[in-house]
Amino acid sequence: MIGERVDEGIGRIPGFVNAYVFEDPSGIYVVDTTISRSARPVRKAFDKASTPLSKIGTILLTHQHVDHVRGAARLKEESRAVVACHSADADVVEGKTPPRMSVLLRLFFRPPPVAVSRRLSDGDQVGPFRVVHLPGHTAGAVAFYHPERRILFSGDTVVERKGQLTLPAANFAADLPQAVQSLQLLKKLPVELLLPGHGVPVRKGFTEQLDALIARAPSEFLGARR
Ligand SMILES: [Zn+2]
Ligand SMILES: [Zn+2]
């Protein structure tokens, strides 16, 4: 097992942001790569499991924010993995468009560019996962959904905090009303295990918690803007 065991073949590499490792017969997938330029938490987890990074077949990026993609270039370098992210976020990941962050932050945290081998669209299949486009947090924010096992890697489209589902801080969203709207799209998916970009995995009551978030999100996140 690479990382902390969450479920069969799924390890979590926890931190301010989670990275996940998904192992199945089609290969090893790493979902998001941490804010560490050298992807240190990921490297440590692979070392501990005595698995070389070269075994990584696919790096799945849920969106272009620095805390999720900064380790991608290094991991790709060491593994030659396929890097996949949504087409709308790919130019930022490849360094062709600057990320939306302050100049100072960009100076210290700008992620090293990494070539995107697969530009994804909604409904695409990557190994066992279906790509679900959930724009708002960023234009190309996606979740990766495993329909057979009902597992959802949600990135920042929905996160866990203090036992509740929520959205990340409002000022990180590119289009907050759209991010709230995109929550409706998640309602169509039966989810038994949610693996969010921030917070802990949610095993029970996803639908109920999502309904509660949808009900309170307009006032909690959009209210002050009216
Ligand atoms: Zn984000
Ligand atoms: Zn994040």
Q: Residue 61's domain spans which residues?
A: 4-225
Over the stretch 31-57, which tens digit does the pLDDT of each residue have?
999 999 999 999 999 999 999 999 999
Give yes or no for a contact between 157 and 179, defined as CB atoms under 8 angstroms apart.
yes
How many whole angstroms from 173 Cα to the centroid of ligand 1? Answer: 7
- Tell me what pLDDT residue 224 has: 57
Over the stretch 168-218, which tens digit does the pLDDT of each residue have?
988 889 999 999 999 999 999 999 999 999 999 999 999 999 999 999 999
Distance CA 90, CA 84 (A): 9
How many whole angstroms from 203 Cα to the centroid of ligand 1? Answer: 22
Q: Name all contacts of 97-102 with Cβ < 8 Å and 24+ positions apart.
A: 99/64, 99/65, 99/66, 100/174, 101/66
Give yes or no for a contact between 72 and 63, defined as CB atoms under 8 angstroms apart.
no
- Beta bridge partner(s), residue 146: 151
Over the stretch 71-108, which tens digit does the pLDDT of each residue have?
999 999 999 999 999 999 999 999 999 887 777 777 77
Q: What is the CATH number of the domain that holds 147?
A: 3.60.15.10
Which ligand is in closest contact with the Cα of 65? 1
- Angstrom CA distances, 100 to 30, 112, 144, 173, stand at 24, 15, 24, 10
**Region at 74 (left for phi over 0; alpha for psi -120 to 50; beta for the rest):** alpha
How many whole angstroms from 219 Cα to the centroid of ligand 1? Answer: 21
Distance CA 186, CA 152 (A): 10
Q: Domains in the chain: how many in total? A: 1
Q: Is the pTM of this model over 0.75?
A: yes
How many whole angstroms from 20 Cα to the centroid of ligand 2? Answer: 13
How many whole angstroms from 125 Cα to the centroid of ligand 1? Answer: 22
Helix 176-186, helix 206-217: angle, nearest 10: 150
Which ligand is in closest contact with the Cα of 196? 2
